[in-house]
Amino acid sequence: MSTDYPYTGLLSRWEEIAEGLAIVGVQALQNPFPFNPGQYATLGLMGPDKLVQRPMSISSSADRLDEYEFFIRLVEGGEFTPLLWDRRVGDPINIKGAKGRFVLQDDDRTGLLVASGTGLAPFMSMIETLRDRRQTRDLVLLHGVSHDFDLAWRSQLEALVASGSFPVRYAGTVSRPQNCPDWTGLTGRVEAIVEGQLEEHRLTPENTTIYLCGNPDMIEAVEAMAAARGFPPEQVRKELYWPKGREH
């Protein structure tokens, strides 16, 4: 591993959620940067001949700058994540930021937060920041994954809902339930459960803003459904994790 590059951070935490899926902590070595919940930072590692960089949504609270947290999946054959998976806690990594306009809007509507896979990250930052600031916001969080063991933060979110201390409703859904014998919750891709959740929680264009983060097919499908139900474009906010038609 090259350490000659003037890296700006170090890998401070690694929590394996499932094989090839991890919650990763990064500390800035100097001058931590502020960010708004929902924004992303850019992580970088030296490859064989260049610095390879990728934008990654921050999942931690905007009020905790001692460590920036990310939710990352290993992409086989990718440029960046195989380099990251070769690193260990304490190794150097580049970090800079923050950028992005995917933030909670200053309105009084319920936020319907729809995530696929690691698209959960910015929503966790929004929730944790609100809690740190002792602020409340009515939120409905939907998270779609392939297997139940991919549902990061599931136990924490379910405990938060059960406690009643913060107004969030949470539902995970699994698209490959045949591989999850103990799963008794919702099944199917997350875009397939959105209409039912809108009906169940009585979410309408008059009282709700929709936030979408994850793969482009999910976002396209929910956008079309929302338009058909009368949601204006400005009430459907989105963050694509890779451009449609391009391998991530």
Per-residue confidence band for 232, with pLDDT thresholds at 50, 70 and 90: very high
On the question of pLDDT at 237 being above 70, the answer is: yes
Q: Please state, for a pLDDT cut of 70, what percent of the chain lies above it.
A: 96
Instruction: From 58, 54, 62, 63, select the one nearest 23 (Cα to Cα).
Output: 58
The mean pLDDT value for 64-72 works out to 97
In the structure, what pLDDT confidence band is assigned to residue 240 with cuts at 50, 70 and 90? confident
Domain ranges of the chain: 9-99, 110-240
Three-state secondary-structure class, residue 198: helix
Q: What is the pLDDT of residue 245?
A: 47
Q: How confident is the model at residue 247 (pLDDT cuts 50, 70, 90)?
A: very low
Residue 40 to residue 54: CA distance in whole angstroms? 10
Distances (CA, A) of 64 to 22, 97, 148: 20, 15, 29
Q: For 128-152, what is the mean pLDDT?
A: 96
Banded pLDDT at 246 (limits 50, 70, 90): very low
Q: What is the mean pLDDT of residues 127-144?
A: 96
Q: pLDDT band at 140, cuts 50/70/90?
A: very high
Q: Is the pLDDT of residue 224 over 80?
A: yes
In this predicted structure, the answer to whether residue 162 has a pLDDT above a threshold of 70 is yes
Average pLDDT of the chain is 94
- Which pLDDT does position 152 carry in this prediction? 96
Q: What is the pLDDT of residue 4?
A: 75
Residue 248's pLDDT is what? 42
pLDDT at 10 over 90: yes
Residue 244 is predicted with a pLDDT of 55
Cα–Cα distance for residue pair 201/157, rounded to 1 Å = 18
CATH of domain 110-240: 3.40.50.80
Average pLDDT over residues 44-64: 96
Q: At what angle do helices 216-228 and 190-200 cross, to 10 degrees?
A: 30
The pTM score is: 0.94
CATH topology (fold) of 9-99? Elongation Factor Tu (Ef-tu); domain 3 (2.40.30)
Q: What angle do CA 201, 118, 158 make, to 5 degrees?
A: 45
Q: Does residue 3 have a pLDDT over 90?
A: no
8 pLDDT exceeds 70? yes
